[in-house]
Chains A and B, each alone.
Chain A
């Protein structure tokens, strides 16, 4: 199981249990998130606290999710740090999805 899904304060949270999100894990991540979108989720939180490395394939999965969400949906990223944070910075992902330092902050934003 790549991502544990649970509800917290009325918000769907996907908590990634892997330290690496690379090309090997990207298809599963993509499918998990797209399935959630197809199931009706419009706004949810992706907790990357445990993720230490993310490559362009995994980033592609997040971008595909945002595209599937459309303009009315929102993907909230929480806990990105280290190389993941640098990746988001260099690719300006703050313009694609909302990035928060903590899960609670992301959930609060999702509730708003």
Chain B
């Protein structure tokens, strides 16, 4: 999981959450604005509808009165009504309201119905029919007024409340219309009956009472509604209610009561009724205007608030986008990219690639510190790489030097081996050997030199230490011993050894020497042991360790040596060896030892010389468990054959 893969989904989720929240707020603000606009449209459309309603009331009343009194019908009222129908239709068409088509149909039907009513009302008729014609006109118009009232309610359908304070106002309008309907209905009815005094029709008076009862219901509902109205409207509504209840209704009841009782009424009563009616109607109209203005004002305020909210949330959306973009950019440029860059560079450093660029960062302090650390890592890596390169170069030089030295050693080893005698024999004395330097060159050496008198001299040297220095000394000592033998008078082998010792430079390291002379003609041998391990004489079933030790060559310049004689008959084997044989150790450090060698030789004494040497080598390898020995190992066997005088005892 990388920082980028962690942060991007988190930012995406955060962005989605923010955008969703803001989108929700935007949607809500848009809905409120649309609803406010719609309700403003409704108010705008309802204004001509209400005006049309007033016109219908006016035309209905005036025409009804004209019909009842045989008076002229005011054509201007019809024109006004028609004009308001056209205005209401036009307003509906341009409103875009869902209920507009239905409203237009209603208006068309209403226009048609009103037209038919007008036509019927203007047909000549007998005086007895005028009352019927007026009633029909009144009923037709009342029906259209009801239809228009229904249309007004239709226009409200589908509205949502954008302001709880406006909800009672719509009820208020309905109740005011009920009161107005009462006034507008009863006024022409009573006016017509007053003109027909004393033949007042009781059924009309009953209808007037019925209408008043309906307004009573409206007044009771207004009583309940009054408390929930806006305080600014409450006083005006209460005034209208008082005017209707205590003035108009009382005057109307007074008038109808007198008419019902007497069939007539005094001008004063009629005047009080007319004044109360005009006053109530005027106050209702004024209240309707105020109410319309109040509603429009509130809706305009809501529209403004919704529009402001819309702009506010749109601004919030832009700021959010800007903030998210800025934060994303900063995180990407100042954190994620530097971290990714550091990760990439560190991986490349880890892969050993130090040829990387680390750009300077002017970002966050922590990032800068990490960049600085990365530079330190790179510097260290460069230093390590340089050291590694130097080390590899040095190693290559060392390897080359080692190879050259090894080649030199191999060449020198060949030279050293070339100094050693092969399997030789002289006068029945055969030489066999096993020679294994510890590391190419050996401090061990030996030689086999026939003498003019028929005997044969073998010497074996072991220079202290091993390796190149010991090998060089062994070569020098080899030559020195060989030269001494060549110059020897053949009398005293111990004297020969003493002269070699005396001539050996004190500055050179000491060496051990075994000098052996075999006289095959006499079947005798003698030897001098100068610090060298004891040799062995294998004769038949007998194994004899020869010698009693002696100083090595180069320790004391005036040292003397002992000469040890022995019999050397046919089949006798003289075995000389260096201390590398006895000192060879196991991995636990246990030496092979002289005792173990004696046991081994005793057990293997019947084996032929070549096989015996091979068996010794195998035994040493088994003991040491390694191919290389820590010290030079040399074994030389001199064996007498049939040419050697004498026989084994």
Contact = CB atoms under 8 A, between A and B. Distances in A.
Contacts of B510: 60, 63
B551 A56 contact: no
A109 interface: no
Given A57-B464, A60-B510, A83-B591, A92 B549 contact: yes
Contacts of A90: 529, 531-534, 549-550
B551 A96 contact: yes
Contacts of B462: 56
26 contacts: A20-B589, A26-B465, A53-B589, A55-B579, A55-B631, A56-B462, A56-B464, A56-B465, A60-B464, A60-B509, A60-B510, A63-B510, A63-B555, A86-B594, A90-B533, A90-B534, A90-B549, A91-B512, A91-B549, A91-B550, A91-B551, A91-B555, A92-B550, A95-B551, A95-B556, A96-B551
A37 B509 CA distance: 19
Contacts of B274: none
A95 B551 CA distance: 8
Contacts of A20: 589
B552 interface: yes
Contacts of A56: 462, 464-465, 512, 579
Contacts of A67: 506
Given A59-B464, A60-B464, A92-B531, A53 B512 contact: no
A86 B591 CA distance: 13
Interface residues of A, number: 20
B89 interface: no
Nearest to A89: B549
Chain B interface extent, by class:
20 to 34
Nearest to B467: A23
B212 interface: no
B615 interface: no
Interface of A: 20, 23, 26, 53, 55-57, 59-60, 63, 67, 83, 86, 89-93, 95-96
Interface hub of A23, A55, A67, A91 (most chain B Cβ within 10 A): A91
Q: Which 10 A-B pairs have the closest CB atoms?
A: A56-B464, A60-B464, A91-B531, A90-B549, A57-B465, A92-B551, A92-B549, A63-B555, A91-B552, A92-B550
A59 B510 CA distance: 10
B556 A96 contact: yes
Contacts of B549: 89-92
Contacts of B631: 55
A112 B245 CA distance: 159
A56 B443 CA distance: 11
Given A91-B512, A95-B559, A53 B506 contact: no
B530 to A, nearest CB: 9
Contacts of B559: 95
B583 A53 contact: yes
Contacts of B591: 53, 83
